[in-house]
Amino acid sequence: MSASPTREVADYAAGTSIQDIPEAPRERAKQVILDEMASACFGARSLGGGLAAGYAAAQGGRAEASILGTALRATAPLAALANGSAGHGEEVDGAHVIGGHPGATLVHAAVALAERQRVSGAELVNAVVLGYDIGIRLVEACGGKFTVKKQYRLYSDFLYALGAAAAGCRLLGLSAERHRHALALATFQTNALSCLYQEKRHVSKSFCNGQFAHAGVSAALMSAAGLEGVENILEARDGLFDAWGVEGATQAVTRALGSDWSILGANFKFINAGYPIHAAVEAATEAVLGNGIDLAAIEALHIGMPENAMRVVNGREMHNICMQDMVTAALVQGGLSLRELPFPDIHQNPAFGRIRARVTVGVDEGLNRDQPDGRGSNVTVTTSDGRQVSCRVNHPRGHSQRGGATWEELSDKWRNGLPDRDTDRAISLARGLEDLEDLSELVGLFRDGR
């Protein structure tokens, strides 16, 4: 065994190969890459995505990588920043059972550097799998998303920058020693106080995921240029584990590398809403519409959920992060469309205000016990004649513990979400990504001015 966790991680990262990745994680990685690229193209219309694209393009420099959803190009770090920001800009990008939005950081860092280096699809798949393996394990080593937020007041996705640095170093073909420096260099560029959740327009949180992608790419390029960091950043005195690690941090980071594939915990979204909302929309729709309950008969609708998830979406000002708003909109409209947000127009529908006033959110003790960091929901509807109907959804559609997503589901998602793009061709290229020698065609499908 290597002398230190940093060395063990770096040695592993520098030696990874697509040939060593089994079919299941390889297939999930290809789905994640496709979904995240499409999310960035879709999210280019968002406020955060548009601002980040304009900023990146205005900085000048070599046109190394594409800013998806636009005709713009930028340096690889700045393209990663723009695409990561846009990727999370509309809340359609994937999540993970450990928490956060790793794809918005890891995929866009890897894609930007892969385009710069003109590497093969196989190398990109390997890099993304590696990025998840390192990034997810680091979040676990620090106690998970909610521990990082509660104990340190930080947005845990900043740890994905280290996974992005590892992915970038692998794409650059760097040595294990250079990997170690890059991991440290990434930590010097990242941080995110969790007060960002208090924002009103979803710009800060989107930018953070882009900034973490930028940091990962920059760290890899800095290390390639000879810059140095602390070679044992994980276990060093005052290093990452000292700052944020929990008991067993070393084991969390090094366990089963090369056999327990973190990307298999990736989840997919099918509506553009905060992830804790998805199960509730599904449960409420089934309870009301599935049982033929007339909207006018709803006297009360209670949404029970784990406390940690409830804090993220309860009564938020942003509509698509607000549980009460999105569940009500789903019922009034008979569902939610990926492409068309119901706000503000739905406020003109009197049924919205009436039902919205009857929606309450609280902690469900069963879900809080069974999955304290989960995304399940238990909805109970009470009608005016005293009838009660309940529906519990433990994991929303697209969740890895419900099997993730099929290629057909992703195809339907993006045919609807990006009707002006050749989704069928994108799906075909992504499914054969490990055999694709040139990524330019896949990237080009998500660019303007093709």
Residue 138: CATH number of its domain: 1.10.4100.10
- CA–CA separation, 379 vs 288, rounded Å? 10
∠ at Cα 373 (369, 375), nearest 5°?
95
Indicate whether 242 pLDDT > 90.
yes
What's the CA gap between 116 and 73, in Å, rounded? 11
pLDDT band of 341, cuts 50, 70, 90 = confident
Mean pLDDT, residues 376-390: 96
CA 147 – CA 160 distance, rounded (Å):
16
Say whether both 264 and 328 belong to one domain: no
Same domain membership, residue 254 and residue 320: no
Asked if the model's pLDDT at residue 2 lies above 80, the reply is no
Tell me which residue of 88, 50, 51, 53 sits closest to 67, measured CA to CA. 53
Looking at the domain assignment, is residue 222 inside a domain?
yes
Residues 135 and 258 in one domain: yes
- DSSP alpha helix (H) spans, 257-389: 275-288, 307-313, 323-333, 350-356, 365-370
- My answer on whether 66 and 168 are in the same domain is yes
Q: Is 449 a member of any domain?
A: no
Say whether pLDDT at 423 is over 90: yes
Q: Whose CA is closest to 267, among 165, 410, 143, 416?
A: 410
> Which residues constitute the domain of residue 364?
275-393
Say which residue the tokens 């692998």 belong to. 170
| Separation CA 87–CA 207 (nearest Å) | 10
What pLDDT digit, counting tens, does each position of 190-203 carry?
A: 988 988 888 888 88
Averaged pLDDT for residues 147-163: 95
Residue 207 domain flag: yes
The per-residue pLDDT for 450 is 47
pLDDT in tens, 271-310: 989 999 999 999 999 999 999 999 999 999 999 999 999 9
CA 42 to chain centre: 14
The answer to the question of residue 398 being in a domain is no
Is residue 103 situated within a structural domain?
yes
Q: Are residues 223 and 120 in the same domain?
A: yes
Which band of pLDDT confidence, cut at 50, 70 and 90, is reported for residue 132? very high
Does residue 123 contact residue 18 with C-beta atoms inside 8 Å?
yes
* CA atoms of 232 and 93, how far apart (whole Å): 33
Q: Does one domain contain both 225 and 299?
A: no
Determine the Cα–Cα distance for residues 154 and 78; give it in Å rounded to an integer. 23
Q: Are residues 289 and 168 in the same domain?
A: no
Q: Which of 334, 282, 309, 298 is nearest to 95 (CA)?
A: 309
**Contact call for residues 288 and 295 (beta carbons, < 8 A):** yes
Regarding whether 171 and 242 lie in a shared domain, the answer is yes
Q: Residue 450: inside a domain, yes or no?
A: no
296 and 175 fall within a common domain: no
The CATH number of whichever domain residue 318 belongs to comes to 3.30.1330.120
Mean pLDDT to the nearest integer, 308-316? 92
194 vs 140, residue with greater confidence: 140
Q: Identify the residue with better confidence: 338 or 368.
A: 368
Would residue 412 count as lying in a domain?
Answer: yes
Same domain as 239, residue 223: yes
Mean pLDDT of the chain: 95
Domains in the chain, number: 2
pLDDT in tens, 19-41: 999 999 999 999 999 999 999 99
Residues 254 and 356 in one domain: no
Asked, for residue 420, whether it belongs to a domain, the answer is yes
> Is the Cβ–Cβ distance between 221 and 76 less than 8 Å?
yes
Q: What percent of the chain has pLDDT over 90?
A: 92
Last residue of a domain, one of 393, 417, 433: 393
Q: Are 260 and 285 in the same domain?
A: no
Q: What is each CA distance from 200 to 26, 90, 93, 283, in whole angstroms?
A: 38, 14, 19, 27
pLDDT at position 201 is 86
pLDDT at 181: 98
Residue-level pLDDT at 1: 42
Helix runs in 225-364, H state only: 240-244, 249-254, 275-288, 307-313, 323-333, 350-356
pLDDT tier for residue 339 given thresholds of 50, 70 and 90: confident
Average pLDDT on 414-419 reads 95
pLDDT at residue 42 is higher than 90: yes
Domain boundary among 393, 411, 436: 393
User: Residue 431: in which H helix or E strand, if any?
Assistant: helix 423-431
